[in-house]
């Protein structure tokens, strides 16, 4: 089942994805498919410092 609506970042009407960090519903262009988060969360220091799945010791 595909969810459609308005992107909470850019306002486009399209298919929506849910950010795994903040829960925003965003369109394809505002979603980082590699990290499974919205573009706003993908630029946070958490993701900028290390890649997903990389452990810190």
Output the 3-class SS for 1-57. CCCEEECCCCCCEEECEECCCCCCEECHHHEECCCCEEHHHHCCHHHHHCCCCCCCC
Considering only residues 24 and 46, tell me which one the structure prediction assigns the higher pLDDT: 24
What average pLDDT does the structure give for the chain? 85
The confidence band for 37, taking pLDDT boundaries of 50, 70 and 90, is very high
Segment 13-35 shows an average pLDDT of 96
């Amino acid at each position: 089942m595909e969810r459609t609506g308005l992107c909470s970042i850019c306002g486009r009407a399209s298919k929506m994805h849910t950010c795994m960090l903040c829960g925003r519903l965003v369109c394809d262009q505002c979603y980082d498919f590699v990290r499974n988060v919205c573009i706003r969360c993908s630029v946070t220091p958490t993701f900028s410092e290390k890649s997903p799945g990389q452990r810190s010791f």
